[in-house]
Every structure is written in structure tokens, then in C-alpha cells.
Structure 1
Amino acid sequence: MSNNQMPATAFGKPYLEEVRTDNLHPESLIGTGDDAKKVGDVADAAAGAVQASGGDASSVEVKAKSATASRVASDRAADMPHVQDFGPDGTPAGDTAAFIAADAAIAGDEMTGVMRFAPGTTLTGNDSDELASANRTVLMGSSNLKGFRRRQVSAEYLPTPYMFPATVRPENLTRTAAASIGGVIRVGVQGDSIPSIGDNLISTADHPVWILIDELKKQNPGVDVQVMNMAIGGKTWGDMWNDASEPPAWFDNDQKLSWKQFVCAYNPDLLLLYSGGNDGYGFDAVAMHNLVSYYQTAANFSSGNVPDLIFGCTYQPSLGSAVNGYNQTATQNGIDFVSTYIRNYAIANNYGYLDFARWHAMCRDGIDIRELTMERVQPVAGTTLPAYEQAVPTTNKVWAFPAAETAIGVSAQSCTSWLACFTLDADMGSAEVPLSNASANSLTPTMNPLFIVNDGGKIKCTYCDGVTRDVVAKTSSIDWPTGASSWTITIKDQRLRVEVQQPLDNGWDISNQNAHVMGMGYVTVFDVNVARFGAPYAPSLIFSNDVNVTVHNLCVADATTIQGCGHRGSSQRYRPIVSDYELYAENDQEFGGSGSYHGNAYLWRLIFAPVIRAQPWGGCRFSNAVVNALLAANGGWIDLPDALQIENWLKVKSFVACGASVTSFGAPALTEQPTLTLVNPTADDTAIAAILAAHGMCKLASQ
């Protein structure tokens, strides 16, 4: 027997089970006698058979380790389909065709599926509407897409989305908390089709307003939560304010009230304002501000009580729908434009808001549009940034951001957040810095800008929120630089910060680039939350004097696009948990949906419900039962830190003035009880204070 020939068993079978395939030489023999064949010949024959059939391995059976059944190789390969299985060829036409075919085949008869990409793959799409409509799959792998609009591959190792901190806080629910004491909370809704009754749902029990009331009832047990949904499809912020706008036709309106008057006549304790999908770049910020002011005027309500205002930040429509141009980048940016403004306005003015836009982007697109990282722009010769540390003149007193990008492809002329650190060689006179694109209805034709001016020899900063010129103004104690000066201006999400470099007395050199980048010697002049519009734009610095600009650092981010498959990119990345198609798929006999912007029952469950249920709708409510429980738990007295919860909504002028000796060991003497001084109290304030006083928790003083 040859040294390369395998011995046979008593039954004439070779000991194949005892042979490690990784030790077999191609010249090793399988079988005995005349039937023996070389391993290499057997492998070549098998490979040749598969190749001869066009790569079809359907006749080749494989068996997974520890499995009990064999399957043909082609079935196993189909378990994890890759876009490469559909023949992308590196051209826009070929890659587009392969992607569309893969999306249809992988989803099949189901609503969705997972399309995988081999490591290192780059697909270049043709940016067509047909490509945008291939939206039934979630894209996973270590690859990159170009020309696919807002779609991108997500790496397998990314975490799944988790809910961000609550955006409605107890101090945003003062009227709601007070109303709960009386046992009834009245909820009103005004807005467009998303919260309206005509949003393509089959079951009213899946409606977003149902979810809101359901959670309010859960967090306010024993309270009667009533609702009037006065939202109307197709409307805008301008319509909500317009005196000619009528309330929904499905309500009687014998008094012929306007829409906003009808809302006031209901006397809501909590009012949800939701619009944006029909506004876009035509968003009327003036009307929105006027409406908020109207609803914050007690005289407009017969009850005399101003409702708590909660704003809804609308989400993106289907990427695959051509209805109203929803699949177009300009339309999507327009919705970002208004939705971002609503969020920023709420933050800047301390209103509660429901950020459906943020959660939607995290779940569908795999990005957190508010957790951003900026990268440095790469200089380009012939632009306004030919090199760092090189002085360039302004053009008509304007330094425009350069036609240049970061290493991951974010353009300095199409960004949403940025940081610019620069030195001017002379007195700039004043500066105007646009913080966003302009609203078509804004009172300021040059967007909503930051202004830096000389106020009596001191640096003064102010900004316009699209309606009011000096909505926030601050004159610092820092002298206005009459010669050369160095500045850092940062606008990241809603936060605006202005810094100026001041010389150090110790002589430390802070003139080099690294010192500027690290912020050495810089002091803060202005640091505020601002209401500004969203969507990418091309920033610039506008001066009143001609100056030369030396840029030390320029960093940008774009919250509307996804750069790459992993963590490197403008926005925090997650693994998407739902496909675009699943959220909007239309079936008017089973689960609703419109195929475009109105979601089906799954969108409300996946996007709206988690955001609504994450908020503390119970506020800091005190009822007789709560007070009694607190008294019992604290030996007849409530600990002072717990009692301070009521400060947010009782308008207490001096609650702790007499409470230094208060402890939880027992009811204090009358002289030791804290005094509640109510300033212009409402009936609810007085009633709640009386409850506390009746239980010996405080003394009352009138003013």
C-alpha cells in the first residue's frame, strides 16, 4: 500500500472520518485499489461542476456542524443575502440596478428584510427617484454608499437606539399639575394631519392622541383626563394663527369662532401644538410666535388659566414617496428647517416638547441628529481657506466659508453646526453671522443672525430668532478690540458661544495655532441657547470694515446626512431597528398608512409611543391622598427637600425663609413652620396651599 493511500475498513470503506482535511495533500488518495482518486482531482472535479453550471451550487449539499439535516449550498447562501449577489459593477447604473433588485428580492413577500454588504464595498447610486423607492430593507455591513440620498449602511457592531432624557419636565406642566388636584385635566390638540383624526389609521386606539391620553391617565390615576382633538390635515403654523381659519368641521361652531378662538373656548390645561410637514422653508415664524403669545394670555381663556404648551417636533416622511416631493432632498431639508426650529425654540424658551424627529432618525436612519461631532475642514487652494494660518482678504467685507470638505465629506458650505477660530488684522467694526438659512416668512431677510457690536467700548452680542432682533442681548465687561483680535464662534445644535482671546499677564505665548485651537486665553462673551432654523446652509462672517482673516481652526458637522457605516461621522450612530417602508406601508384594510407621510399603526407604536411614554406627565402633583401619605411616611411632617417640589408651580416667593430648623422627625412648632408667600395666586394656587397649611406643613401669608 502506498504511503499516500488510506487503509480500508473491514467493510471496504476508507477512514474518512479520521482524516483532518487541513492535513490532506492534493496527492493524497481517497478510496482503495483501482477506485482510489487523488484529493486534488476530486476537488477540481467538484469545483468544475459548480463552475460549469454558472456557479449554481444547488446540487451541492452541506451540513452545518451539530446540525441534523443537510441543505443545498444555494439555500444556505440565501439565508444572508448580500447586494453583491445581484451583480453591482462599480458604475452608477450597474450599482443602482443591483441595489433595486436586491431590495425587492430580499424583502420578497414580507414587509422588510436585511440587505448585507461585504466589507470594503462602495456602491455609487444614480440618486434617482427609482433608487429612493427601493426602501424595504435595512442595510447592514462595513461598506459605504454614495448617491443614495439619506440612506447609508450601518455596521453590525453599532448599538440599538435608546431613549434620550425626557424633554417635558415638571416645570413645563404647572397648569396640568394644578388641574389634577381638582380631578380633571383637559387636553387640547391643534396642528396638521399627523395628530388629526384623518391620518390614515384603522383603529382610533392606535392614534397618537390616544397614546398621549393613555399615558396621562396612567401617570395621573384617579384623574379624569379629557381631550378635544382640534388638529386639521394640510394646515400650517400660518393657518393656526390666521383669523380666517375655521375650526374642524366635525365640531359645531355656533359662535362662529376662529380656529384659535375655538381652542381657547375649550379652556385646555395642556395644549399640544404640532405642525411642520406642510410648512417647510415657507415656515411662518412670525405666526408661530404670535400664536404662542396668544395662548399665553390669560384674558383669551374664560377660565383665566393659561395652558401648558407642549410642542411636537415632526419627523421625516418616507424616503421612497414621490407624493409632495417627499423623496427629494430639498423637501426633506425643508421639514428639518421647521422641525429643528420648533425644538430650538422650545429649549430656548423653556417649553416642553416631544422630539419625534430625533427618535425617528435614530430608529429608521440610525443617527442621533442632536449628538454631533465636528471634524476639521481640509484647506483647498483657491478658496477662502487656502491654508490654515494664512491671511486672506474679505470679499465685500464678507468671509464666506470655503468650498472645502472634511475628510469624511461634510462640506463647509453645507453644514448644520460649525466652529470657526480666526484672527482679524484690524478693527472689524461689527459682525453679523447668519445662524441658518432664511425663512420665507422671517422678518429678517438675512436669516436669523448673531450680531457682535461695540456698545460704548464694550463687546455686546445679540441674536435674532427669526422674528425679534434682540431676543437675547448681553453687553460684556470686556473692552472692544480696536486693533487686531482673535475670536472663536461656535454654533452646535441649539447652543451658540462667542469667545475672544485676551492677553495673559504672565507672558505665556498664546499666538500659535495650537494655543488658538485649544482655547488658550479665550474668555466667553456670549453663551446661550438660541432658536434657529434647521437644515444645511453655507455660513459666512459679515463685517462692517474691510479686514484680513487668518483661520486657525474650522470644524463642521451635518446632522442631516450619514457619513460611513460606523461611528466616524457627524451624528452618533445606531443600528436601525425598522425600514423606511415598514413605517409608511399602506393597507387601508389592515393597519392603515399612506405610503408617504402619514404613518401606519407601526409608526405610532415604534416612534410616537416611546417618546410620549418617556415623559413625566405626572409632574409634581400633590393631592390630599399624596399629602397624607407623605405625612404618614415622615412621622407627621414632610422633609424640606421633598416639599421644595411645589416651588415650581406655587409661585412661592420665600418658602425656606423660616424653614431652616425643619426636619422629618415630627411636626415643628408653629413658629418653625416655613411660610408660603403667594404672589398674585390663582384659585388653584390658593387651594393647594390651603391643603398644605391644613396638614400643618406651612403657614400662609398673603400679598
Structure 2
Amino acid sequence: MIEKCNKIYNSGFRDFFTQYGDFFEGDNSPELLDAIRRVIFKGYGNISGCHERIVYPLHLPFPRLFRPNIHKHHLKNFHEKIAAKKHITWAFVGDSILSVGADIVAPSESPVHIWSDEILKQNPNIDITFHNFAIGGTTWADLAGNTQPSPWWEDYNQKSWLECVISSCPDVVCLWFGGNDGRQINIPALNFVLDKFKTILPKTDIILAVTYLPSFGSTLWTGYGTIAGQQDRIFAQQYTRSFARWKNVGYLDVGRWHTMMRDGYDPCEISLTRVEPAFNTNLPAFSKPMQWNVDKWFFPDCKNDNKVSASACTDWSISMHVKTPPSSLMINLSGPDDAINQPSGNMFFIFFEELGFSIKISDGSNNHDPISFHKNISLSHVELNWFNITLKDSRLTFSMPRKNFFPDENSNRIGAGYIDIFDMQIPRFGGRYHPFIAGLGNIKELTVYNLCVADSTRPCGGGKKYMPTHSDYEIYVASESAGGSNDYHMNTYGVRDVIAPVVRNENW
């Protein structure tokens, strides 16, 4: 396979066509990755052992940009300043992707230049100053800490990085992190930074950016190219995206478009499909009662039609019945495992109380219940033995049947007759994980009627598929003429085709 990939690339092409019945077995080696990053597999064959790369059927459409995520109310201060014809200060803050050290060939080829260019095009003749406060190799924790500013910034030796940014009194601040954070993304630090801006500069508009993934062909010591390295960045990507939705903050989703272009699927537009029960798991059959006296029910190693296991998924929907109603339930919403950087974890708690439902959600910060409220639906208005729970993208829905409605098997599956007890966008980390439902120690008997899952971290996990427009190699490959790093920093073609369309699609 390596020889054929290199032959196709050296001939000036990138399409590796396969036929029905073709099967290519790889070994996930660095040498293989360096070869397959140069091509796009197309046709109707199959490949395996290629770091979860797939063959894309020829009938797939090319990706189209999604609707904007930044709206007028996200830039209220900015537009008020424009209307008043006042001077505007705009700050870009982030890691190396926004910095002058992003392996660019000229200032005009940087993400910051493209971003500021579109702002000026949509708002001509405004009096504005752009500041680039990005520092390479940094994280949210670095911005929240005592990191020193770059030496060419004004008063750099008198302030910390964050103090330097705040002292410029930006009317808008754009924050781009995640590439160096990965699974160690520090949520207390993220909240500290945002709270600092809101306290000192309450009118400042805040925009977040969802970073893109590094090259899967990278052999750098950071592990960018490994499956774990890609998953680590997805972990931070989804948190940024879901946090922005939860807080109603405008966000630039470069990561979503990058995945659609390079990997050929939309990680935010997914379909859940039903798993096949399996003997010797804790789901041997649907609609069959099981004796149960253990506190946690872990999702079983049962797979759906896309070969996604419920024990290693990102999104899911379950309907179930218990013989004895629990007093509370706890559900893990993702898989954080860093007690320092995500101290409160990412859990959903629901307590069945006499006067209604008490609901709490932890978001990985120091605050164990930033989402906490009481739902004034009396327990006497619902049947307490049935649950229909869905976690899809960043939306969590928890439903129960109305009183005296005892759903049959089909009603359980589709949620007929159910009342939503909880339904909102919630913060959660990305990456596949092992879901569980806790609080089931005294239910005596458990019946699962339906379990559907998806994996938004890989092309065949349930996301809407597209034909990739670019190979991994062509957007990262380093050259004297176009820049690039071969690892994370894209060359000028990658900046033009990945970052620019998302920036220019937004409403500035």
C-alpha cells in the first residue's frame, strides 16, 4: 500500500481508487501514515489498519459550510462603538496557530490577517486597531498564570500575559486554545480568564475559537499523529464548542469545518443507530427484565451497524424500566480523568424529591454544580419507573412518562407519552468514552428497551459523510514557498481553505 500511495502522489494525483472486493490491510506504522496522508481513498473497497482512515464512496457530496455561530448580540459592544464612531481595539489571544511563529511565509498568510481582513471588509471605514497577543505552545492555564508577554509588546516586563491583554482595554477579544491543552484542558483556568474579562472589562465582547486537529501523519514527539493524539484534541474541541453554546458565547468553529474537509464527515450532525444485544454482556436482549442489584450499569460492549460499541461511544440514547424507582440517578456525560484540571468531573445528577426534581450538572470546573435548579413537576404527575435519556452532541434530554401512562415496548423506544424533565445544551468534553448510569443498586430489576449510539470522532461513526476536499498532506506539508510545519501549523493553502471560509462565513 505504501508503494502505491507514493506512486499516486509522485504522479501528481491524490485519489486512490478502489473497486468492489478490494481490501488493503495496513499495520498502523508511521511509514504507512506518511504514505496514506498523501492520498484520499475513494471507491467501494475497504481498508484496515490505517489509523481509522476509510474509503469514501464516489457518490458522496462535497461538504458545505454550516450556518454562522456568531451573531449580532455576540458583538454588541463592537457594533455600538461603530455606531458611535469611536475607536475600537480588537485583541487576538491564543496559542501558536494565531502567533507569528505559525510557520507562515508572510504576515498576509496568517490566520490573524485573514480574520482582521474580513472584519474590515464587513465594516469598512471603521477606526480600529488589531493586537496579536498570541504566544506559541501555550494553554488556558498559561494565560491564567504568570506567563510573561512577548518582548516586543508594550510594557511587556511589567505585566503578566493576561494583564497585558487586559491593559489594552480591548472592545473584542478572540480566544483560541485547545491544541496544546488536549485532555489536560484546565477548566478552572478557562473560567478564571473569562471571569477576569467580565469583571474588569464587562462590556468587552468575547469570541471563542474551536481549534482544528493536527496532521494525522505527524511523527512529532507530541503524538499529534496517533489516534490518542487526535482524540486528545477532540476532547478540548467539544468542550470549547459546548461551553460556548451553554454560555451563549459566539464561537468560530474551525475544527468542525476542518473535519468535514479532511476527514469527510460532520462531527456535529450525527445519526444514532441501535446496537445489537449480545450474550455475556449486561444487555443480552432488549425488553427482557434482568435481575439487578449493582449501583452502576455500564453501557455494554454491544455494537451498532457502524461497528460503534456502546462501551466506547460519544453520543447515545437509551430507554429503560426499573422495578423499584430509585431516589436519584447519576450519569457521566464524558470521560474527563484529570483531577487537577477538571476537578468536578462532568456528571449529571437528578434527585427525585417530594416537591419535584432537583438537577445538577458538573462542568469540570471548581464549582461542582454550575448548573443547578429545581424542576417544579410533582412526582405524582409522572411514572417513576421509566426513563428515556438522550445525550447527542451537546444536548441532554431526560424524559419520563406522564402519570397513568404505562408505555409498551414501542412507546418506550420512541418516547411516546413522555414528559421532558430536563432538556438543554450542556458543557461536555469530547472523545469516545464508557457511559454509565449510577443509582440503580435497589431497583431489583432492569429492562432496557432501546440503546442507540454513535461515535463523532471517526468518519464511519454516524456523522454525516462527505467526500474530503483535501488530503492531510496538502494542508500541512512544509515548503519554502508556502510555509507549513508537517505537524500542526498549516501552510498558506491550509489557512486559505480551512480557516478563511469559516471566518468569512461569520457575521462580523
TM range (shorter): over 0.9
2:453 — aligned with what? 556
Structure 2 distance, partners of 1:556, 1:526, is 20
Q: Could you tell me whether the CA contact under 8 Å between 1:419 and 1:488 is conserved in 2?
A: yes
The more displaced of 264-273 and 385-394 is 385-394
Shift of 1:441: 4.8
Structure 2 distance, partners of 1:489, 1:541, is 10
Q: Could you tell me whether the CA contact under 8 Å between 2:476 and 2:489 is conserved in 1?
A: yes
- 4+ runs deviating over 4 angstroms: 441-446, 481-484
Percent of residue pairs bearing the same amino acid type: 32
Q: Could you tell me whether the CA contact under 8 Å between 2:151 and 2:157 is conserved in 1?
A: no
Corresponding residue to 1:458 among 356, 365, 368:
356
Structure 2 distance, partners of 1:192, 1:602, is 20
Structure 1 distance, partners of 2:489, 2:204, is 28
Shift of 1:483: 8.5
Whether 1:474 and 2:381 are equivalent positions in the alignment is no
Structure 1 distance, partners of 2:239, 2:115, is 23
The more displaced of 530-539 and 249-258 is 249-258
Q: Could you tell me whether the CA contact under 8 Å between 1:286 and 1:441 is conserved in 2?
A: no
Structure 2 distance, partners of 1:366, 1:393, is 43
Q: Could you tell me whether the CA contact under 8 Å between 2:25 and 2:49 is conserved in 1?
A: yes
Structure 2 distance, partners of 1:520, 1:544, is 24
Whether 1:114 and 2:12 are equivalent positions in the alignment is no
Q: Could you tell me whether the CA contact under 8 Å between 1:313 and 1:339 is conserved in 2?
A: yes
Corresponding residue to 1:499 among 395, 399, 412:
399
Shift of 1:393: 4.1
- In structure 2, the residue corresponding to 1:487 is in which secondary structure? strand
Corresponding residue to 2:25 among 109, 113, 124:
124
Shift of 1:109: 5.7
Task: Report the TM-score, using the length of structure 2 for normalisation.
Answer: 0.95
Shift of 1:186: 1.4
Structure 1 distance, partners of 2:19, 2:298, is 40
1:604 — aligned with what? 495
Structure 2 distance, partners of 1:122, 1:277, is 34
Q: Deviations over 1:214-258 (max 9, x none)?
A: 00111111102311101100001100111x111122213266111
Shift of 1:113: 1.3
Whether 1:448 and 2:448 are equivalent positions in the alignment is no
2:140 — aligned with what? 237
Bigger radius of gyration among the two: 1
Whether 1:208 and 2:100 are equivalent positions in the alignment is no
The residue identity in structure 2 corresponding to 1:231 is A
Closer/same/farther in 2, CA of residues 205 and 444 from structure 1, 3 Å limit: closer
The residue identity in structure 1 corresponding to 2:348 is L
Corresponding residue to 1:142 among 34, 37, 44:
44
Q: Could you tell me whether the CA contact under 8 Å between 1:454 and 1:480 is conserved in 2?
A: yes
Corresponding residue to 2:2 among 92, 95, 100:
100
Closer/same/farther in 2, CA of residues 593 and 255 from structure 1, 3 Å limit: closer
Q: Could you tell me whether the CA contact under 8 Å between 1:283 and 1:439 is conserved in 2?
A: no
1:243-392 to 2 correspondence within 5 Å? 244-253=146-155, 256-297=158-199, 300-301=200-201, 306-323=203-220, 324-392=222-290
Structure 1 distance, partners of 2:292, 2:25, is 37
1:23-172 to 2 correspondence within 5 Å? 99-108=1-10, 110=12, 113-134=14-35, 135-172=37-74
Q: Deviations over 1:411-455 (max 9, x none)?
A: 111111100110111121211100001151567657301101023
- In structure 2, the residue corresponding to 1:173 is in which secondary structure? helix
The residue identity in structure 1 corresponding to 2:132 is N
1:582 — aligned with what? 474
1:592 — aligned with what? 483
Structure 2 unpaired stretches of 5+: none
- In structure 1, the residue corresponding to 2:376 is in which secondary structure? strand
1:6 — aligned with what? none
- In structure 1, the residue corresponding to 2:91 is in which secondary structure? strand
The residue identity in structure 2 corresponding to 1:613 is R
Whether 1:535 and 2:416 are equivalent positions in the alignment is no
Structure 2 distance, partners of 1:422, 1:191, is 44
Closer/same/farther in 2, CA of residues 458 and 545 from structure 1, 3 Å limit: farther
Cα RMSD after superposing both structures: 1.8
The residue identity in structure 2 corresponding to 1:485 is N
1:427 — aligned with what? 325
Q: Could you tell me whether the CA contact under 8 Å between 1:236 and 1:275 is conserved in 2?
A: yes
Shift of 1:132: 1.7
- In structure 1, the residue corresponding to 2:448 is in which secondary structure? strand
1:512 — aligned with what? 408
The more displaced of 475-484 and 493-502 is 475-484
Task: Report the TM-score, using the length of structure 1 for normalisation.
Answer: 0.69
- In structure 2, the residue corresponding to 1:353 is in which secondary structure? strand
The residue identity in structure 2 corresponding to 1:475 is H
Structure 2 distance, partners of 1:477, 1:576, is 48
Structure 1 distance, partners of 2:101, 2:446, is 55
Higher normalized contact order (CA 8 Å, seq sep 6+, divided by chain length): 2
- In structure 2, the residue corresponding to 1:309 is in which secondary structure? strand
Q: Could you tell me whether the CA contact under 8 Å between 1:430 and 1:545 is conserved in 2?
A: no
